[in-house]
Structure 1
Amino acid sequence: MRKPLVAALFALVITGAGVAPAVAAPAPAAASTSTSVSAVKADAKAAAPTLQAVSLAGTVALSNCSGSVIRFPNSADSDPALVLSNGHCLETGFPEPGEVIVDQASSRTFGLLNSAGTRVATLRASKVAYSTMTDTDVTIYQLTSTYTTIKNSYGISALTVQDTHPTVGTAITVASGYWKRLYNCSIDGFAYRLKEGDWTWKDSIRYTSACNTIGGTSGSPVIDQATGKVVAVNNTGNEDGETCTVNNPCEVDASGNVTIHPGINYAEETYQIPACFTTGNKLNLSASGCTLPKP
């Protein structure tokens, strides 16, 4: 799980803050039903989208992770703004397998960044709207500020969460507010199940090797470069080549076959989240189309 571990900090001291640590090459892929980016290269070349310049605007730095100010397609400017990060970035500790936290009081603060990565404001939470590490790895905070207030005061717009499933081959940027750094790569495929320690996540995004994220990038928005929308939240990677241990997730296919990809990193999709938030950015886990785990 991509928290700011001592190893990550040590790597930055050795290599410099602007240089990524070395990452092991992926292990040879076992037979799998997972989709791969190589299978769509020809189609991608034939219909390549116009890529946008993704910046750090709208990202936030947490005390131990990264995050972003987000909105949904049906959010109103007058709604209380939301911050997206990981379940394992929750200030009260990792949610247990099967645990879902809703409407928990919080006064956590977030450093809001502009496009250059300069901290322009401190935002404050009013509560944890939703948090879990079951099926996905997500925490959503509700803020004391509205989107209008943030835009008018700091010139920063929220990032919109895409409400459709991402596709293989999509060019993406992982935008880390903690490190004030952008990682660019593509979606290599999807893990049917991603297992790490006691936790299991569904339909996770696997990056191509260029997104060599490190500790502190947990909770970073994964942004589609063609649309500028959030398609996932960065959360983990296989650091040591171990199998299904903490910091060494393994992929499990529908037949139960286990595969590891040393040095490769992952994110949890977010397209299913908008259906669970209704008018006023209010969480409604009983809403039509909402598939997030319930308490």
Structure 2
Amino acid sequence: MRKPLAAAFCALAIAGAGAAPATAADAAPTGVGKVADTGSATSAVSGVVTSVEQTLSGLRGSQAKAVNFAGTVALSNCSGSVVRMPDAEDNDPALVMTNGHCLESGFPGPGEVLVDKASSRTFSLLNASGSRVATLRAAKLAYGTMTDTDVALYQLTTTYAQIKSSYNINALTLNDAHPVAGTAISIPSGYWKRIYSCNIDGFVPTLKEGDWTWKDSVRYTSACNTIGGTSGSPVVDQATNKVVAINNTGNEDGERCTVNNPCEVDANGTVTVRKGINYAQETYGIPACFGIDSKLDLSASGCTLPKP
């Protein structure tokens, strides 16, 4: 999974990678236990510069022009975005979406679902060009899991209207329809300030990585070579600017179903390994689980998110 481990010793322990870096500046971007792209703080800074240059180059392309960093956030260890449900009201408390494996408390175990947990986590809100314009704070973790999907949703202390009024930034809207193969997508990473653009290649009935299993995952075409730190980035439909999935993992070494090497399992149980290919978890089912005031309601009709 695409997470840097500046303060996540548990992930390094999973991979057997040794001690965690002492500071964020020393940390290499990684997935769940992934130790790819390891290097010095200097090389990390160089990577950011390169990433920004690549982003600017990509934004010159006609297809990617509509997608920018507005509404994305940078976490200490991942990427994310301020999101809203299609029927959310402007005065609802805003939500930030990232991966379940990006939680400050560590990785939820298989079958574990976290609901309404205290949190005062902070998020750096970015504008269209990728500059930080504010620090947003969580009131609580509304929902988090790595079962069937890989998602966490934090409720903020601010509303959508307050964010719009103060910073002129709109939240990204979740699409409540299943994504379509062949759709042109962009993946803006708040952590790296880099935008990846490619197409949805197809869907995976079951995606397995280590102890975790995800259902009906999105597979990208090879152009979206997401790296550590991109975990939690929104996957945005270029035509509608709506979020259709959340970036979360990729097969690094060609291994079979191991941590940082997810494998595809089809309906017949056949396992396929695609080295270098990356994946996301669909988000179209999330809106059905949030009701009035954008509050979580796992008992709502049509809500299929795993329950505690």
Q: Distance in 2 between matches of 1:289 and 1:151?
A: 30
Which of residues 273, 276, 282 is equivalent to 1:260?
A: 273
TM-score (norm 1): 0.88
Per the alignment, residue 10 of structure 1 pairs with 39
Q: Distance in 1 between matches of 2:105 and 2:242?
A: 29
Instruction: Say whether the 8 Å CA contact 1:51–1:226 is kept in structure 2.
Output: no
Instruction: Say whether the 8 Å CA contact 1:238–1:247 is kept in structure 2.
Output: yes
Q: Distance in 2 between matches of 1:74 and 1:278?
A: 9
**How far apart are residue 9 of structure 1 and its match?**
4.8
Structure 2 segments unaligned to the other structure (5+ residues): 5-29, 52-61
* CA separation of 1:213 and 1:50: change in aligned 2, threshold 3 A: closer
Alignment deviations for residues 80-99 of structure 1 (CA, whole Å, 9 cap, x no partner): 00000000000000000000
Per the alignment, residue 133 of structure 2 pairs with 120
Per the alignment, residue 101 of structure 2 pairs with 88
Alignment deviations for residues 202-258 of structure 1 (CA, whole Å, 9 cap, x no partner): 000000000000000000000000000000000000001000000000000000000
Per the alignment, residue 168 of structure 1 pairs with 181
Q: Distance in 2 between matches of 1:260 and 1:83?
A: 32
**How far apart are residue 51 of structure 1 and its match?**
6.8
AA at the equivalent of 1:17: V
Alpha-carbon RMSD across the aligned residues, in angstroms, is: 1.6
Is 1:188 matched up with 2:201?
Answer: yes
Of structures 1 and 2, the one with the larger relative CO (CA 8 A, separation 6+) is 1
Q: Distance in 2 between matches of 1:205 and 1:226?
A: 18
Is 1:101 matched up with 2:132?
Answer: no
TM-score (norm 2): 0.84
**How far apart are residue 16 of structure 1 and its match?**
3.3
* CA separation of 1:67 and 1:50: change in aligned 2, threshold 3 A: closer
* CA separation of 1:286 and 1:52: change in aligned 2, threshold 3 A: farther
- Indicate the percent of aligned positions where both proteins have the same amino acid: 71
**How far apart are residue 10 of structure 1 and its match?**
2.7
**How far apart are residue 7 of structure 1 and its match?**
2.8
Alignment deviations for residues 8-59 of structure 1 (CA, whole Å, 9 cap, x no partner): 3539828733447xxxxxxxxxxxxxxxxxxxxxxxxxxxx98751000000
The number of equivalent residue pairs is: 267
Q: Distance in 1 between matches of 2:50 and 2:222?
A: 15
* CA separation of 1:179 and 1:245: change in aligned 2, threshold 3 A: same
Instruction: Say whether the 8 Å CA contact 2:48–2:193 is kept in structure 1.
Output: no
